[in-house]
Amino acid sequence: MKFDKHIFICTNQRIGTERKSCGETNGLELVALFKKKLNDKQLTIKVRAQRAGCLDVCDFGPTLVVYPEGVFYVGVTPADVDEIIEEHIINNRPVERLRLKNTSK
């Protein structure tokens, strides 16, 4: 099955470290919220939201990536889910305030 948009939400949990992990800071809640809200909207496009392992940017807060664009969002909270769905998933406009900024020097 091909999807028009595919949302991977980090649910990684780091064991035995003090570093933050998405799974411990809303990761699973975000997965459930995206699934529920996408289902409630009954969109005409094919969208899937699912759990993912580490996306390697947990230090920036709960993380997800939307494909096919490959847009990474960081510091995502449950309050951001509606905006991401409305702006990015439905209207194809990434939410700039949540986008991972270029971290290379």
pLDDT in tens, 79-105: 999 999 999 999 999 999 999 987 554
The answer to the question of residue 105 being in a domain is: no
Q: Domain range spanning residue 25?
A: 5-98
The answer to the question of residue 14 being in a domain is: yes
Lowest mean pLDDT among 2-11, 33-42, 50-59, 63-72: 50-59
**CA triplet 96, 101, 105: central angle to 5 degrees?**
155
The answer to the question of residue 11 being in a domain is: yes
User: How far is Cα 42 from Cα 105, in angstroms, rounded to an integer?
Assistant: 42
User: How far is Cα 79 from Cα 64, in angstroms, rounded to an integer?
Assistant: 14
Q: What amino acid is encoded at 27 in this protein?
A: G
* Number of domains present in the structure of the chain: 1
The answer to the question of residue 54 being in a domain is: yes
The answer to the question of residue 103 being in a domain is: no
The answer to the question of residue 23 being in a domain is: yes
User: How far is Cα 41 from Cα 50, in angstroms, rounded to an integer?
Assistant: 17
> Taking the model in full, what pTM does it have?
0.89
pLDDT in tens, 8-38: 999 987 777 676 777 677 889 999 999 999 9
- Residue ranges of alpha helices (H) inside 3-89 are 27-41, 81-83
User: How far is Cα 74 from Cα 58, in angstroms, rounded to an integer?
Assistant: 8
The answer to the question of residue 104 being in a domain is: no
The answer to the question of residue 56 being in a domain is: yes
Count of CB atoms situated within 10 Å of the CB of 53: 11
CATH assignment of the domain containing 50: 3.40.30.10
